[in-house]
Amino acid sequence: MAEKGRTQAVSMTGSAPCKTVLVGVTGCIAAYKTCEIVRLLQKAGVRVKVVMTEHATEFVGPTTFRALTHETVAVGLFDDPSDPIHHVSLAQEADAFLIAPCTANVIAKIANGLADDLLTTTALATTSPLIVAPAMNVNMYENGATRYNIGKLHIRGVRIVEAGDGYLACGDVGRGRLAEPADIVSAVLEELGVRRDLSGRHVMITAGPTIEPIDPVRYITNHSSGKTGYAVARAAALRGADVTLVSGPVSLPAPEGVRVVRVRTAREMLAAASESFAATDIGVFAAAVADMRPKETASRKLKKGTADADLGTIELVENPDILATLAAGKRDGQVVVGFAAETDDVVANAQKKLATKHADLIVGNEVGEGRAFGTDDNEVWFVSAEETYDLPLMSKDRLADEILDRAVQFLG
Ligand code: PMT
């Protein structure tokens, strides 16, 4: 590892990445609204798993939630023969447990520690924040028993998203309507400790390698896995941003709530990034763009030893510099973060790139055998006009939040 510059304490309070929220659905007509809650949570970058009571399945089928979440949907305590303690594994997996809608019956059970099905046993087994969004008939909601049980849950630290007033499915008018899905999701994100400081902001990220074809079977590329750029996209979505991820060919799944534009070559990446850049508040250029491409791409496989190919000599031309091109035209208030991938003199090279690429921040990192490319952790320098400092080795998820924290400071 190259010599490090001055070490400075950095904020480690970024929002944690890739949270899992377990959504419990109970037997209530408002169960259909849980589909919207699931969708909004996913849009916020959260992974969602669903557990239902038997009665809930009378209102919305598990297939609907399976299709929405791409996860198995748990109903019966003994449904999963591979997991004899399903309620405990579900509880452990969840960073938060939301029950929405929650009936008077289930409120009463969890308020009194009763656990006679998968949902209620999971609620008892969870140590993560529990959020309850009741929905029921107005008289049931106002009944002293229900109010007492809700009070008990409240005292125990359960977050209650109280029902709203309005027209109820039973025909009555009054309190008992499931709270608005957006308000329920806000409460969940708050319980997860997620800052929504990028709400209303547009963030564009380039990620992964580009590939530059020589012929239909060969190409020039590099070792970028896309992990860094995808982590930034995930973190930005979780913090409320509208995110566009321009991705070279990688084998990573699309992050929840992120618009992914898939490209192959540097020129395709430039075209896709140019489309989004004007509306972008923060641009993070994490892609390892091939600097050069073959001057010609053969339409047929080049055969060694034949007259049409000298495989020892491939003429290269320079690719456009996506970061430098777009950042040169950046408007006031736009923040641009670039990277510098170096084998030597990381800080000096990063400082040069800060100026030549018109960036507000350069994230310098040392690349090479087992470093930066494809790893889950990275150790980087932050280089800006004001200061240069190094960050300790950290996960790329954590680094993503550090980058966004710094970008938010530039936004002012
Ligand atoms: O994807 P991972 O496996 O997680 O690996 C992470 C990483 C090593 C790819 C990442 O940390 C990183 O360093 N990304 C930038 C890689 C790179 O191409 O660095 P560079 O020093 O060659 O380029 C400097 C900057 O200009 C980068 O922001 C790059 O995206 C941009 N660039 C470069 C060339 C080009 N033609 N167009 C560009 O936009």
- What range defines the domain where residue 170 resides? 20-191
- Say how many domains are in the chain: 2
90 inside domain:
yes
How confident is residue 308, by pLDDT bands cut at 50, 70 and 90?
A: low
Q: Is the pLDDT of residue 165 over 90?
A: no
List pLDDT tens digits, range 336-391.
Answer: 999 999 999 999 999 999 999 999 999 999 999 899 999 999 999 999 999 999 99
Specify the residue with its C-alpha closest to ligand 1, atom 27: 339
Last residue of a domain, one of 191, 210, 229: 191
Atom of ligand 1 lying closest to residue 323 CA: 39
Over residues 306-310, mean pLDDT: 68
- C-alpha 246/C-alpha 226 separation (Å) is 10
Residue at 33 is within a domain: yes
Q: Confirm whether 67 is domain-assigned.
A: yes
Instruction: Check whether 67 has a pLDDT greater than 70.
Output: yes
Are residues 368 and 323 located together in one domain of the fold?
yes
Minimal CA–CA distance to 35: which of 15, 52, 11, 20?
Answer: 52
Q: Note whether 359 and 384 are same-domain residues.
A: yes
Same domain (yes/no): 176, 209 = no
Q: Has residue 343 been placed in a domain?
A: yes
**Same-domain pairing of 143 and 221:** no
The CA 239 to ligand 1 mean position distance, Å, reads 24
Ligand 1, CB cutoff 6 Å, lining residues: 206, 224-228, 266, 285-289, 291, 319, 321-323, 338-341, 353, 357, 365, 367, 372-374, 396
Count how many Cα atoms sit within 13 Å of the Cα of residue 328 in the half-sphere of its side chain: 8
- Is the domain of 62 the same as that of 97? yes
Candidate of 205, 220, 224, 342 to mutate for ligand 1, largest count of ligand atoms within 8 Å of Cβ = 224
Residue 135 in any domain: the answer is yes
Contact criterion met (CB below 8 Å) for 70 and 43: no
Span between the terminal Cα atoms of the chain, in Å: 34
| Res. 5 pLDDT band, cuts 50 70 90 | very low
Whether 10 is covered by a domain: the verdict is no
Amino acid 170: pLDDT: 81
pTM comes to 0.80
Nearest to residue 102, comparing CAs of 154, 187, 179? 179
Distance, CA of 359 to CA of 407 (rounded, Å): 11
How high is the pLDDT of residue 311? Answer: 72
Atom of ligand 1 nearest to the CA of 290: 36
Pair (101, 129) in one structural domain: yes
Q: Are 279 and 181 contained in the same domain? A: no
| Spatial separation of the C-alpha atoms in residues 27 and 13, rounded to whole Å | 38
User: Atom 25, ligand 1: which residue's CA is nearest?
Assistant: 339
Query: What is the residue with the minimal CA distance to atom 31 of ligand 1?
Result: 323
pLDDT of residue 173: 84
Which residue would you say has higher pLDDT here, 310 or 325? 325
Same domain, 183 and 215: no
- State phi, psi for 359 to the nearest 5 degrees: -95, 155
Phi, psi (deg, nearest 5) at residue 284: -115, 115
Nearest to 134 by CA among 155, 113, 119, 149: 149
**Rounded CA gap, 409 and 376, in Å?**
26
Identify whether residues 84 and 180 lie together within a single domain.
yes
Q: Whose CA is nearest to atom 23 of ligand 1?
A: 340
Distance from residue 88's CA to the centre of ligand 1 (Å): 42
- Nearest atom in ligand 1 to the alpha carbon of residue 380 is 11
Q: Residue 347: what residue type?
A: V
How far is the centre of ligand 1, averaged over its atoms, from the C-alpha of 336 (Å)? 13
How many angstroms separate the alpha carbon of residue 360 from the centre of ligand 1? 15
The residue among 305 and 183 whose pLDDT is bigger is 183
Of 207, 206, 208, 198, the residue nearest 237 (C-alpha): 198
The domain boundary residue, chosen from 191, 211, 229: 191
| CA angle (28 as vertex; 26, 34 as ends), nearest 5 | 70
Q: Count CB-CB contacts under 10 A for residue 80.
A: 16
d(Cα 288, Cα 209) in Å, to the nearest integer? 5
CATH number for the domain that contains residue 390? 3.40.50.10300
Q: Which atom of ligand 1 is nearest to the CA of 319?
A: 36
Ligand 1 atom at minimal distance to the Cα of residue 250? 1
Q: For 112-143, what is each residue's pLDDT tens digit?
A: 999 999 999 999 999 999 999 999 999 999 99
Q: Say how many Å lie between the CA of residue 313 and the centre of ligand 1.
A: 26
Are residues 384 and 248 part of one domain?
Answer: yes
d(CA 387, CA 389): 7
- Look at residue 254 and tell me if it is in a domain: yes
Cα of 132 from ligand 1 centre, angstroms: 44
Residue with tokens 């019956």: 105
Q: How many CA atoms lie within 13 A of 146 on its CB side?
A: 22
Same domain, 339 and 240: yes
**Nearest residue by C-alpha to atom 37 in ligand 1:** 321
Q: Whose CA is nearest to atom 16 of ligand 1?
A: 288
Q: What is the pLDDT of residue 3?
A: 38
Q: What are phi and psi of 159, to 5 degrees?
A: -80, 120
With beta carbons less than 8 A apart as the criterion, state whether 198 and 236 touch: yes
**289, 292, 353: residue to mutate for ligand 1 pocket, most atoms within 8 A of CB:** 289
Atom of ligand 1 nearest to the CA of 223: 3
- Reading the block at residue 188, the tokens are 């969940």
- Which residues are marked as active site? 170
Asked which of 191, 211, 238 is the last residue of a domain, the reply is 191
Q: Separation of 10 CA from ligand 1 center, angstroms?
A: 23
Output the pLDDT for position 307.
67
Is it the case that residue 7 has pLDDT exceeding 60?
no
CA 117 to chain CA mean position, Å:
32
| CATH number of the domain to which 149 belongs | 3.40.50.1950
Q: Please check whether residue 197 lies inside any domain of the structure.
A: no
pLDDT in tens, 11-49: 223 333 478 999 999 999 999 999 999 999 998 889 999
Asked if residue 187 and residue 207 are part of one domain, the reply reads: no
